[in-house]
Structure 1
Amino acid sequence: MADAALRLESLFGQLLGVPLPVRVRAWDGSQAGPPGTPTLIVRNRRALRRLLFKPGELGLARAWVSGDLDIEGDLYTALVLLSGLFWERGDDARTLAQALRDPDVRAAVRGLVKLAGPPWPPAPPREEIRRPRGHLHTRRTDRRAISHHYDVGNDFYGLVLGPSMVYSCAYWDDVGGTLQDAQRDKLELVCRKLGLKPGMRLLDVGCGWGSMVVHAAREHGVRVVGVTLSQEQATYARKRVADEGLTDRVEIRVQDYRDVRDGPYDAISSIGMAEHVGAERYLEYAESLHALLRPGGRLLNHQIARRPHHDESAYQVDEFIDAYVFPDGELAPIGTTVTQLERAGFEVRDVESIREHYALTLREWVANLEADWARAVQLTGPGRARVWRLYMAASAVSFERNHIGVNQVLAVRTPESGVSGMPARARTWN
């Protein structure tokens, strides 16, 4: 067969109900589709078997991670063009059943099955997490999920994140500035919102590689406890603290936030950690942090948010992210987060959306990864490197198109007297 691409273009168009907006190159070298667009490379028939066996986002993810599918040309443009054609349609039984009532769809599926050939089904790539049975967000399952994502290797994260080693949205005062400057500005913004002063005691929940604890101790003279579930992060952070000469003011623990018992703290920072907590545990998370703060103490909760759905009971987690990136991670609308913090007893004083800043940050991380791709593959393997490239690029597009956002929520444990200690004018942060 020397016309596989033409056949694929026709079948995908028939299946989706619209022409495929990108060019296709098939395993036989044939090409078809609109010129001047990114090219979807279908390297082998196994890619089709992956899509047919698991239609929707997970099948696409498996084909991408294994290298059966690839994109030639601008990845961001391809993601925008393909958005909504495959993964946003969903692949639950009801959606498939409805689609298969259409005779054109059934004919397209039969054509793809014939083109794909045996054997069925392909095994998932080894990078896909294998899930044990049991409840989500226990201490054990959270440790396992965190290890899957963060214990990829400190050298790999250093390549992607750059010298700042901050794995959360930067704060870009100047779009022409450097990633390192923007991450420093984000950490300083958090410190100012928390009103940190020398001698205060700060808890950094999900401290990562120690960037926040080092900045707060060095620049603001506070004493800091940082907790993480990642052994690799803790090892890196402890060395960093020692190199900065801050061991008398900073302690790094491998500890679940639910096991912190040595409050009260004057302030708590939680930067890019709450996404791992889960909807069922979120009130417990908020109540735990509230109990650890002194009256008048502040919490800065920096968290990615999704848009609310008309039917929240039908919301499903992102299959690719759940299987390959953040196992058991859950995003909530910002309104839900604020409500839960208030239910826990916090007074929410400020909510700042910095959505566009995360798109800029992610593009910088992708550029770092692509610039040293061979080293990234050497450090973590081709499949894992492909996971990170796709998830970061797709996330950048999602932030740019307002599919997801990120917010800094400043809350205070207001005393019974009602005197919060917050500045009279919003966002003076002193």
Structure 2
Amino acid sequence: MADAALRLRDLFGQLLGVPLPVRIRAWDGSEAGPPDAPALVVRNRRAVRRLLWKPGELGLARAWVAGDLDIEGDLYAGLEMMSGLVWERGEDARTLSEVLRDPEARAAVRRLIVLAWPPLPPAPPREELRRPRRHLHTKSSDKRAISHHYDVGNDFYEIVLGPSMVYSCAYWPDPDSTLETAQYDKLDLISRKLGLKPGLRLLDVGCGWGSMAIHAAREYGVSVVGVTLSHEQAAYARKRVAGEGLTDRIEIRVQDYRDVEDGPFDAISSIGMAEHVGADRYLEYAENLFRLLKPGGRLLNHQIGRRPQRDEASYHLDEFIDAYVFPDGELAPVGTTVTQLERAGFEVRDVESIREHYGLTLRRWVANLEGDWDRAMRLTSPGRARVWRLYMAACALAFERNRIGVNQVLAVRAPESGASGLPLRSRTWN
């Protein structure tokens, strides 16, 4: 009799101490659980082995990337249900070691081992980046991490991001707007916060595929230097710049921002780049940008932030995102970001949270990916496409539920006179 789903439901429920909220569909065709709930599809015994050998988030992620696990039905509802079991158990949830002190739990694990036979550790999917963590955020390690994330293929990113080719939170006039309109509005909002006008010189740190540089030069008449560590991004951006007829006003470089020496600039935009810097290097990052600005110049730092922890020493990186998406990426609370910018000498003049906007943006990116799924898999790999679908959908939920946020911080390198150059009512850019 086909009963793997029933056995999985009962055994995992016993280990977790709560009933599974999702339906399980197992490799033998059996199903168990709430009939109207999204289905967690367990395609083979290897999925169970992955969870046994690496319990928790990383085991689930490896099973997902390898195609051993899937969610059938509403992806967001399924992930929300699973997140309650894996990521949000609460302070009273038992640790794995506590669970295994329970004789009944140990018996459940033994039965899972039998069900998952043979009990050999599966190799991680090839999309997982495995590297030593001894030397984070050196120039060479940052270059390797950026390449892992961004050199996936420009054609793949065109599917996900759409014509705007902007890989950061859009700014939505309303939820029914197009992604392209919302990304235009975000770039324009940043340009206005920076006070861009003809004759100024802008440094775009982490320039991506050139969208901010092109917008600033085309719409505001500034000269732009854009720097990225990704060769694929730089080649794509240069082609776009040439197509716009802006080669006389935009220079795209493959260069670490720490190596930029031809300042000072009138303005600096850093959009979705600071997440790669790392907590230990953040003051250095802020000091470098301060050095590159003219007195009176403005910095717009657009950055994802996490919620503060009661015990910051206990904070750890998200295992899935660190292994598959943003190697060595680190999120900091917005208060930490503001403090470090001020320690570097900046005067922080405005902080705007646009958290809800990122949920809308990510859902559009997921829809773009799903709408051209077969081509996306051909352009990268089935595993890489699954990484992006899971990452973006889970992040959409995280922004919507206020687990993480995104903030635009406007800071000024005030001159000795103390005049910031900002209008008395600084929110006039809205």
Structure-1-length-normalised TM-score: 0.98
* 1:67-113 alpha-carbon deviations (Å, 9 max, x no partner): 000110010000111113124459xxx93222222233222212211
Alpha-carbon distance change, 318 to 89 in structure 1, aligned in 2, over 3 angstroms: farther
* Distance of 1:199 and 1:104 partners within structure 2: 73
Q: Which moved more, 1:156-165 or 1:107-116?
A: 107-116
SS in 1 for 2:427: coil
Kindly indicate whether the alpha-carbon contact (under 8 Å) linking 1:306 and 1:332 is maintained by their aligned counterparts in 2. yes
Provide the residue aligned with 1:4 in structure 2.
4
Provide the residue aligned with 1:61 in structure 2.
61
* Distance of 1:52 and 1:119 partners within structure 2: 9
List alignment gaps of at least 5 residues for structure 2: none
Q: CA deviation at 1:170?
A: 0.2
Q: CA deviation at 1:365?
A: 0.2
Q: Which moved more, 1:117-126 or 1:356-365?
A: 117-126
Kindly indicate whether the alpha-carbon contact (under 8 Å) linking 1:204 and 1:270 is maintained by their aligned counterparts in 2. yes
* Distance of 1:86 and 1:49 partners within structure 2: 17
The reply to whether residue 180 of structure 1 matches residue 180 of structure 2 is yes
Kindly indicate whether the alpha-carbon contact (under 8 Å) linking 1:423 and 1:429 is maintained by their aligned counterparts in 2. no
* Distance of 1:181 and 1:62 partners within structure 2: 36
Kindly indicate whether the alpha-carbon contact (under 8 Å) linking 1:48 and 1:112 is maintained by their aligned counterparts in 2. yes
Provide the residue aligned with 2:362 in structure 1.
362
SS in 2 for 1:19: coil
Provide the residue aligned with 1:138 in structure 2.
138
* Distance of 2:311 and 2:106 partners within structure 1: 29
Q: CA deviation at 1:174?
A: 1.9
SS in 2 for 1:419: coil
Kindly indicate whether the alpha-carbon contact (under 8 Å) linking 2:11 and 2:112 is maintained by their aligned counterparts in 1. yes
* Distance of 1:174 and 1:401 partners within structure 2: 19
* Distance of 2:182 and 2:87 partners within structure 1: 32
Q: CA deviation at 1:275?
A: 0.3
Kindly indicate whether the alpha-carbon contact (under 8 Å) linking 1:56 and 1:89 is maintained by their aligned counterparts in 2. no
* 1:327-370 alpha-carbon deviations (Å, 9 max, x no partner): 00000000110000011110000000000000000000000000
* 1:114-149 alpha-carbon deviations (Å, 9 max, x no partner): 211114100000000020453000000000000000
Provide the residue aligned with 1:79 in structure 2.
79
Kindly indicate whether the alpha-carbon contact (under 8 Å) linking 2:203 and 2:268 is maintained by their aligned counterparts in 1. yes
Provide the residue aligned with 1:202 in structure 2.
202
Q: CA deviation at 1:287?
A: 0.3
Provide the residue aligned with 1:337 in structure 2.
337
Q: How does 1:27-176 map to 2 (within 5 A)?
A: 27-88=27-88, 95-132=95-132, 134-176=134-176
* Distance of 1:44 and 1:378 partners within structure 2: 24
* 1:152-196 alpha-carbon deviations (Å, 9 max, x no partner): 000000010000000000000121110000000000000000000
Provide the residue aligned with 1:387 in structure 2.
387
* Distance of 2:126 and 2:89 partners within structure 1: 26
Task: Give the letter for the 2:406 counterpart.
Answer: V
Provide the residue aligned with 1:420 in structure 2.
420
What's the % identity of the aligned pairs? 80
Q: How does 1:258-273 map to 2 (within 5 A)?
A: 258-273=258-273
* Distance of 1:76 and 1:104 partners within structure 2: 33
* Distance of 1:25 and 1:113 partners within structure 2: 19
SS in 1 for 2:316: coil
SS in 2 for 1:85: helix
List alignment gaps of at least 5 residues for structure 1: none
Q: How does 1:287-302 map to 2 (within 5 A)?
A: 287-302=287-302
Extract structure 1 runs of 4+ deviating beyond 3 A.
87-90
* Distance of 1:371 and 1:347 partners within structure 2: 44
* 1:287-339 alpha-carbon deviations (Å, 9 max, x no partner): 00001000010000000000000110010000000000000000000011000
Kindly indicate whether the alpha-carbon contact (under 8 Å) linking 1:194 and 1:429 is maintained by their aligned counterparts in 2. no
Kindly indicate whether the alpha-carbon contact (under 8 Å) linking 1:279 and 1:332 is maintained by their aligned counterparts in 2. yes
The reply to whether residue 22 of structure 1 matches residue 19 of structure 2 is no
Kindly indicate whether the alpha-carbon contact (under 8 Å) linking 2:113 and 2:119 is maintained by their aligned counterparts in 1. no
* Distance of 1:311 and 1:366 partners within structure 2: 34
* Distance of 2:198 and 2:410 partners within structure 1: 20
* Distance of 1:99 and 1:17 partners within structure 2: 9
* 1:252-276 alpha-carbon deviations (Å, 9 max, x no partner): 0000010001110000000000000
* Distance of 1:119 and 1:335 partners within structure 2: 46
* Distance of 1:418 and 1:114 partners within structure 2: 72
Task: Give the letter for the 2:326 counterpart.
Answer: F
* Distance of 1:116 and 1:320 partners within structure 2: 23
SS in 2 for 1:245: coil
* Distance of 1:211 and 1:382 partners within structure 2: 28
Cα-Cα RMSD? 1.2
Kindly indicate whether the alpha-carbon contact (under 8 Å) linking 1:49 and 1:120 is maintained by their aligned counterparts in 2. yes
Provide the residue aligned with 1:249 in structure 2.
249
Q: Which moved more, 1:102-111 or 1:402-411?
A: 102-111
